Amino acid sequence: MQLGDYAWVVNKAPSLWMLMGLMSGCVTLSDDPEASQSWRMAGGSPGADARMPGGAMRSSVSTGTVVEPAVSSTPAVEPVSPSGGASNHGMPSGLAPNPIEPPTSVVVGSPNPIQAEGPLAQARTILLEAARDAAPAMRAHAVEAAEFDATLANRVLPIALRDANRGVRFIAVVVVARRGDGAYLPVLERLRVDPALSVRAAAVAALSHLGRKVDRTPLAEAAFSETPEHRANAAMLIGAFGTQDDVRLLREASSSPFAVGTPEAQRRIVEFGLAVAAAELGDPDALESVRAGVFAPEEQGELALLACEALGRLGDQTYAGVLEERALRAASDEIPLEIGLAAAGAVAQLRPGRAPVAWVIESASHDQPLIRQQSAAILGLTAGSEAETKLLGMLQDPDPLVRASAAVSVLRRGR
């Protein structure tokens, strides 16, 4: 099986995360309210020969007309329990940020900020248009970028939190939590009774992160769900907003069964997402599992891509040299381009001076839009005027998803 067969894994809708970053979550931007997951970030409709892009917020994405019911406006009525209703699952009562302490000192580089108002305004315009697009994946880009830009956040988040698509709502809740914006607390309270489990889980995680005492049962329910989408989203939430006490929960969730008929590729990706979340919370064994993913066999190329991206986000200086080597091998056509770009993005964060800038810029002109889309995300992490110049030029790309991805990166660099 070729890497392109896993296009659904990393469609770039959000970044970092969503993350989003790695396969932190399998947010479904689907027209089917019962669908589990299909793509991952930036949101494309992957064809049989589609290649995987990378990004920041990894989520599963498929496009189409949304028919999922809109979020309820009824105020939350479930009881608030200081002790946390998920305690019987081994989950502690509070969620708080607790970044991983890597084995060696971390020197994570940041790209040169874009100061000129012209490019920033152009990026905002692209994303405001994306926020009104019929395709959920386009709207997800706008929501992702709201993390980095207050002007965009004020325009996009109030609408996104009520979006008809559960994936867009999920991303919006995560962005609110990352921004630490207490103005949305009443909305988050209402989302605790959202029809989508992943959104309910995100709402309680966000409320806890913002200092509210809440019943975290939806988060535990998602973590142990047989549905890959729910479990992957729970992993992303716990990795982003959890504590070391949550590592036990992640381990238990990793041994919980999936629904009968779940494809093996989805199982692997979700299990890897649980390991990444545990590594984010400081579990050294999980970190070793993430490192091992860099060397996944060709038929599991999606894990290698996600591992490269995750190690950069985790600030793992120990593997910086390995990631640099992977990027160089991809530049020599020895390994898939998508994996090399993910490795290049990690190097850009860990050792900015060693990033293969010229090769990433070359990849940004690739024939395939998904490759250009991934390259735009990587350029958002890459320091230097050459990277910035290419990125600004991509705001004129003929493909709307590439333009949106470039706009997200411009705002990320401009913050």
The full length of the chain comes to 415
Q: How far is C-alpha 357 from the chain's CA centre?
A: 23
Does the reported pTM lie above 0.85?
Answer: no
Q: CA neighbours within 13 Å on the CB side: how many for 204?
A: 33
Would you call 366 exposed, middle or buried from its count of C-beta atoms within 10 A (0-12, 13-18, 19+)? Answer: middle
Confidence of residue 30 (pLDDT cuts 50, 70, 90): low
Contact in structure between 11 and 218 (CB atoms under 8 Å): no
Give the residue-averaged pLDDT of 231-257. 96
Whether 123 has a pLDDT exceeding 60, the answer reads yes
- The CA-to-CA distance between both ends of the chain, in Å, stands at 40
Whether 53 has a pLDDT exceeding 50, the answer reads no
Whether 39 has a pLDDT exceeding 80, the answer reads no
pLDDT at 110: 53
Per-residue pLDDT tens digits for 73-85: 333 323 223 333 3
Whether 51 has a pLDDT exceeding 80, the answer reads no
Specify the residue for token string 């949550």: 246
Whether 48 has a pLDDT exceeding 90, the answer reads no
Per-residue pLDDT tens digits for 327-377: 999 999 999 999 999 999 999 999 999 999 999 999 999 999 999 999 999
- Average pLDDT score, the chain: 80
Whether 50 has a pLDDT exceeding 90, the answer reads no
Per-residue pLDDT tens digits for 140-187: 999 999 999 999 999 999 999 999 999 999 999 999 999 999 999 999
For the chain, how big is the Rg over CA atoms in Å? 19
Residue 256 DSSP class: S
pLDDT at 414: 82
pLDDT at 112: 58
Pinpoint the alpha helices (H) of 82-165: 117-131, 136-145, 150-160
Share above pLDDT 70 across residues of the chain, in percent, rounded to a whole number: 72
Contact in structure between 323 and 350 (CB atoms under 8 Å): yes
Both tokens of residue 412?
Answer: 């990320």
Give the residue-averaged pLDDT of 220-227. 98
**CA distances for 384 relative to 166, 177, 219, 349, 409, angstroms:** 37, 30, 41, 13, 14
| Better-predicted residue by pLDDT, 25 or 238 | 238
Whether 86 has a pLDDT exceeding 60, the answer reads no
pLDDT at 115: 62
| Better-predicted residue by pLDDT, 188 or 69 | 188
Whether 246 has a pLDDT exceeding 80, the answer reads yes
The domains of the chain, with CATH numbers, are 3-414 (1.25.10)
Whether 299 has a pLDDT exceeding 50, the answer reads yes
Specify the residue for token string 């962005």: 175
Confidence of residue 198 (pLDDT cuts 50, 70, 90): very high
- The single-letter code of the amino acid at 314 is L
Per-residue pLDDT tens digits for 259-285: 999 999 999 999 999 999 999 999 999
pLDDT at 49: 27
Confidence of residue 111 (pLDDT cuts 50, 70, 90): low
Q: Which distant-in-sequence residues (6+ apart) come within 8 Å of 179 by Cβ?
A: 146, 147, 153
Whether 410 has a pLDDT exceeding 80, the answer reads yes
Give the residue-averaged pLDDT of 309-326. 97
pLDDT at 114: 64
Confidence of residue 298 (pLDDT cuts 50, 70, 90): confident
pLDDT at 29: 62
Give the residue-averaged pLDDT of 62-89. 33
Buried b or exposed e, range 230-267, using 16+ CB within 10 angstroms: bbbbbbbbbbbbbeebbbebbbbbbeeebeeeeeebbe
Question: How far apart (Å, rounded) are the C-alpha atoms in residues 390 and 79?
Answer: 52
Question: How far apart (Å, rounded) are the C-alpha atoms in residues 26 and 37?
Answer: 6
Whether 104 has a pLDDT exceeding 50, the answer reads no
